[in-house]
Structure 1
């Protein structure tokens, strides 16, 4: 009887171990204190994450008809909460860009920009579709010969994106953002000028 009990316990332990190993196919971090009403064994989007992205920017300078464009890239940080299939959170990013354009003898560029946004999405296992909107800030620089003038402006941004779990804690995303930065009075230019632009970017995130 004792040998039979010992064998039964051994089989049970082996089965539990195999089940836990099978569950590692999805990103699992043990008990998730960030999650609300998270389905058992489901893919978890909850918690903090860091990432990097690279994309392309194209836009317009109001009052000057310049169309700055160029490559943009930077870093991202955010935090998600999840309730069932609904994922919501906050995200911020800072980007360096090579976007510039000319109008007459003037050159306009957008050396950098950043955003602080909310995100709301719908997840199906390791696929997340979301919308995002919030605050934007950045620089518009004007040059005329050896003269240069720049302002840091505040504005707004909105966009959409898709993110996919690709391997354990890693996800990949594609995102579109529209950014509108407020006008400033440049002494080099006979009118107030602001910058609005679109950007499409791809990136990766690491979820902790």
Structure 2
């Protein structure tokens, strides 16, 4: 439902951008060139990628193995969910990622050549949200991988077309995010250790439309898609403990245990927001 709302809003934004040259006159135009500072606020949503968890039962570094019970049945037949488990079984549901409000500070510089405007913009965004995936075993038990994403930073280039008091533009560039990765499980039998991960980087692409509201103040609407690479992937090792036996599903193939990780190393984020900036000069 959230993705649908975001898509509808983006379509409406695109229609507005396309109609701007017709709907607004070009008289009274001022230059778009010069330095500026501003803020942007809106909604951020992680794209639904139907992610699961994959396993390496013989510890050969190749994932995609099935974890079986001593009787040969799939130990994870209850399945997976996009979100953090509320309990030990799928029937108790998962807390899926919701849209989150966020705000960002930005600064940049634009150059104008006729009706064409080119620039660079740097931004720091206070975005705080979670991206989780859960596996359920027949025990029953849950196994939850979570990424806590904060502070998305970006440095982008811009290219726009000015139409009097209006400008439409596209933007693209480098993005980086602070990410904390955690793992939790209701399995109290095995031992679990997790590798560490680093902050993620990637890119941003988007488009927007702006209107000059006065000599120095400019407002706008903007959509961004942020794509981050989660490397190195966090690997959780399910090993033996004083409470386990060789019939434990994680130990059947290799007594040393089983490695598990998320199937996706990408984080795709959609952001729709309004912006307000103060342009020096103008």
Query: Could you tell me whether the CA contact under 8 Å between 1:70 and 1:100 is conserved in 2?
Result: no
Is 1:204 aligned to residue 204 of structure 2? no
Q: SS at the partner of 1:45?
A: coil
Is this contact kept in 2: 1:139–1:150, CA < 8 A?
Answer: no
Q: Deviations over 1:70-115 (max 9, x none)?
A: 1221101110011111111111101011222432233332112111
* Structure 2 residue runs without a partner (length 5+): 1-26, 54-81, 84-95, 135-143, 186-192, 237-259
CA distance in 2, matches of 1:73, 1:128: 22
Say whether residues 1:109 and 2:96 are aligned partners. no
Alignment of 1:1-208 (within 5 A): 42-60=29-47, 65-66=82-83, 68=97, 69-104=99-134, 105-145=144-184, 151-184=198-231, 185-188=233-236, 190-191=261-262, 193-208=265-280
1:63–1:193 CA contact under 8 A, matched in 2? no
Higher strand share: 1
**Structure 1: stretches of 5+ with no match in the other structure:** 1-39
Q: How many corresponding residue pairs?
A: 169
| Runs ≥4 residues deviating over 3 A | 60-69, 145-150
Greater RCO, CA 8 A, separation 6+: 2
User: Any idea what the Cα deviations from partners look like across 1:107-138, whole Å, max 9, x if unmatched?
Assistant: 33211211111111111111010011111111
* Residue matched to 1:27: none
> SS at the partner of 2:199?
strand
* Equivalent residue, structure 1, for 2:6: none
Give me the TM-score of the superposition, normalised by structure 1: 0.72
User: How high is the TM-score relative to the length of structure 2?
Assistant: 0.54
1:159, distance to aligned residue in structure 2 (A): 0.5
